[in-house]
Chains A and B, each alone.
Chain A
Amino acid sequence: GEDVEQSLFLSVREGDSSVINCTYTDSSSTYLYWYKQEPGAGLQLLTYIFSNMDMKQDQRLTVLLNKKDKHLSLRIADTQTGDSAIYFCANTNAGKSTFGDGTTLTVKP
């Protein structure tokens, strides 16, 4: 089946960059997504990348895709305390998404 793997925890200092990594097995993925989940809230779509791209930048967010290694990363520049949350990557094939188990990002002041 399709698997999406993420490291469970990441801790950074406010103002530093955060890099959250994800690997996946489904080579047929068309789109890959990053979602953010704050405590007690639903998942919020952050950004996405199409499978024929290798980089996408959206303000403080940079998504890198290595399709050969099936590796996706999310870089958050100038990380703020408000970025503390769980981040999920998801790959999509024919409209259905498979999610990783999330990376809990803790930002220390």
Chain B
Amino acid sequence: DTGVSQNPRHKITKRGQNVTFRCDPISEHNRLYWYRQTLGQGPEFLTYFQNEAQLEKSRLLSDRFSAERPKGSFSTLEIQRTEQGDSAMYLCASSPPRGQGGYGYTFGSGTRLTVV
């Protein structure tokens, strides 16, 4: 297993366009998380899944954001009608069923979104 994979690595889009990011977690991990990180800040929680069920979505998250994990494997994060404030690094992480280390995350390398 090569870890958590995110595509694309970089995305530049014009304001108002829709974008979609993909995350492929570690295959044995049943939990998948989306976070957003801006410069000088820690990762900010967006949403997470256990298998295909979306268990929680941040109250701060606009309705323009939607995420899916249709078969409990890969996940997509879509942002509709992008705004300049959406520019950030979007991080995906996965974690195994609760074990000795709790819910320690394995992060992907992220997708950097720039809205111009």
Contact = CB atoms under 8 A, between A and B. Distances in A.
Interface stretch (A12-20, A37-45, A59-67, A69-77): A37-45
B85 interface: no
Contacts of A101: 40-42
A42 B103 contact: no
Contacts of A90: 42
Interface residues of B, number: 26
Interface string B73-116: 00000000000000000010101001001111111111000000
Contact of A102 (B42, B56, B103): B42
Contacts of B107: 35, 42-44
B43 A95 contact: no
A96 B45 contact: yes
A31 B109 contact: no
Interface string A4-24: 100000000000000000000
A20 B7 CA distance: 33
B42 A88 contact: yes
B48 interface: yes
Nearest to A86: B42
Provide the main secondary structure of the chain A interface: strand
Interface in A55-109: 88, 90, 92, 95-102
B97 to A, nearest CB: 10
A20 to B, nearest CB: 13
Contacts of A99: 35, 42-44
Contact of A100 (B42, B45, B105): B42
Contact of A97 (B41, B50, B105, B108): B105
B92 to A, nearest CB: 9
Interface of B: 31, 33, 35, 40-45, 48, 50, 56, 91, 93, 95, 98, 101-110
Interface of A: 4, 30-31, 33, 35, 41-45, 48, 50, 88, 90, 92, 95-102
